């Protein structure tokens, strides 16, 4: 398979190819990083790209799989998460200037669960400032809908919708307080799930409304969404 074709596979298709060793996690990660470099300047879907960390994690996943330590369907899959979720050693801005230098010393539970499933974190995705819904201020550049650059990819998980639809990650996480998973999924032609309250931990997630905040997947297919939710639930 040509490496440039890898980002256009669904997460479940890529998972099967990684499990059978027809595609390596390093190949997949490099393919996504290359596409991010080529495309994202038009979309502003990422705030932070974790190139070195992603490649290191991909090499580790490749070694684990080659030695028979396959951990499941997300092992070696390149993913990205909304910049509302703490990531150990990686800045977490909450879409704001005030927190532009905040570097957590631990992962949000959902990020830790993705990592424990073997997923590769490509980076942190753009969002409305403080996850504030239809905000007009985006300190890291206004995200654009990949289907029409003049249009909104949905708020506040804007980058999660744009990056997933533009094949800049295999699957992603967003956060929904009043529609911020369902909106970007709808605007970008994707599948999004707002899980039932308590299904997914919110520890390490910047909050907007404690009784409504919900973390969930934004993916290209229903199967990809289910696979992602299965890892974080």
Q: DSSP readout, 140-180?
A: T----BTTBTTS---SSSHHHHHHHHTTSSSEEEEEESSST
Nearest to 139 by CA among 83, 97, 81: 97
Active-site amino acid positions: 82, 156, 180
At 113-157, the pLDDT tens digits run: 999 999 999 999 999 999 987 766 789 999 999 999 999 999 999
Question: Rounded CA gap, 196 and 171, in Å?
Answer: 20
pLDDT computed for residue 169 by the predictor:
98
Alpha-carbon 53 to chain mean position: 15
Alpha-carbon 11 to chain mean position: 12
The phi and psi torsions of 145 (rounded to 5 degrees) equal -75, 125
At 160-180, the pLDDT tens digits run: 999 999 999 999 999 999 999
pTM attached to this predicted model:
0.97
Q: Where are the alpha helices (DSSP H) in the chain?
A: 11-19, 25-39, 51-66, 109-116, 158-165, 182-187, 222-232
Handedness of CA 48, 49, 55, 57 (dihedral sign): positive
At 28-66, the pLDDT tens digits run: 999 999 999 999 999 999 999 999 999 999 999 999 999
Q: Is the peptide bond before 13 cis (omega within 30 degrees of 0)?
A: no
Tokens of 85: 């979720």
Average pLDDT, the chain: 96
Q: Which residue has the tokens 């009043």?
A: 178
* 38 burial level (CB within 10 Å; 0-12, 13-18, 19+): exposed
């Amino acid at each position: 398979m040509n490496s440039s074709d890898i980002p256009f596979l669904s997460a479940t298709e890529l998972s099967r190819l990684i499990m059978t060793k027809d595609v390596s996690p390093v190949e997949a990660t490099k393919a996504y990083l290359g596409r991010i470099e080529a495309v994202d300047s038009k979309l502003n879907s990422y705030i932070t790209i974790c190139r070195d960390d992603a490649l290191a994690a991909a090499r580790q996943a490749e070694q684990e799989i080659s030695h028979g330590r396959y951990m499941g369907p997300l092992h070696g899959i390149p993913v990205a998460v909304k910049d509302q979720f703490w990531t150990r050693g990686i800045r977490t801005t909450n879409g704001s200037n005030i927190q532009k230098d905040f570097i957590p010393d631990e992962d949000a539970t959902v990020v830790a669960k993705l990592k424990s499933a073997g997923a590769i974190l490509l980076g942190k995705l753009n969002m409305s400032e403080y996850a504030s819904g239809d905000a007009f201020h985006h300190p890291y550049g206004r995200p654009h809908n990949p289907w029409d650059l003049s249009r909104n990819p949905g708020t506040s998980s804007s980058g999660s919708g744009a990056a997933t639809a533009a094949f800049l990650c295999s699957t992603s996480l967003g956060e929904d307080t009043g529609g911020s998973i369902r909106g970007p999924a709808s605007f970008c032609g994707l599948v999004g799930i707002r899980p039932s309250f308590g299904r997914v931990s919110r520890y390490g997630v910047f909050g907007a409304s404690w009784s409504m905040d919900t973390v969930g997947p934004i993916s290209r297919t229903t199967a990809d969404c289910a696979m992602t939710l299965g890892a974080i639930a």
